[in-house]
Amino acid sequence: MTEVVLTKQKIADGKTDRLVEWMSEVRDREDEVVKTFQSEGMQTEAAFLEHGDDGDYLIYFMEADDLNKAYESFSESSHEIDKEHKRVMDEVLEDSDDLGVKKYKLLYHMVNPNRS
């Protein structure tokens, strides 16, 4: 069974537009993203923007064969899109090292065994 995680990170003031611009570019570079997924064992990744009273947040949902392996592979990646992603996250997030993983407790994770 795959592993899942939900993360929440605060976006620095005035950086939301830059983040949205980058996410649009990521969508346009889908072929590159798929290659990184294959090397990381990532199955699903979805990014959301939350507007809160105290600012904007980047929310990620990720599903991988092994999340620790996926994080390690991303950290050591030589893929250009991963390098750019790290640079942009450092630029737009208040603390790109704090993934906000501990803010959520997984209650259940079920997968349709017949999904393709």
Residue 51 lies in a domain: yes
Is residue 108 one of the residues assigned to a domain? Answer: no
Tell me whether residue 112 is in a domain: no
| DSSP class of 39 | H
Nearest CA to 17 out of 43, 56, 54 is that of 56
How many folded domains does the chain comprise? 1
Give 13-59 pLDDT, tens digit per residue. 999 999 999 999 999 999 999 999 999 999 999 999 999 999 999 99
| Residue 30's CATH number | 3.30.70.100
Q: What is the pTM of this model?
A: 0.89
Percentage, residues of the chain above pLDDT 70: 100
Contact 98, 10 (CB under 8 A): no
Q: Which residue has the tokens 């501990």?
A: 102
* Confidence at residue 89, expressed as pLDDT on a 0 to 100 scale: 96
Range of the domain at 60: 3-103
Residue with tokens 């991988």: 64
Report which of 101, 97, 116, 27 is spatially closest to residue 67, judged by C-alpha positions. Answer: 101
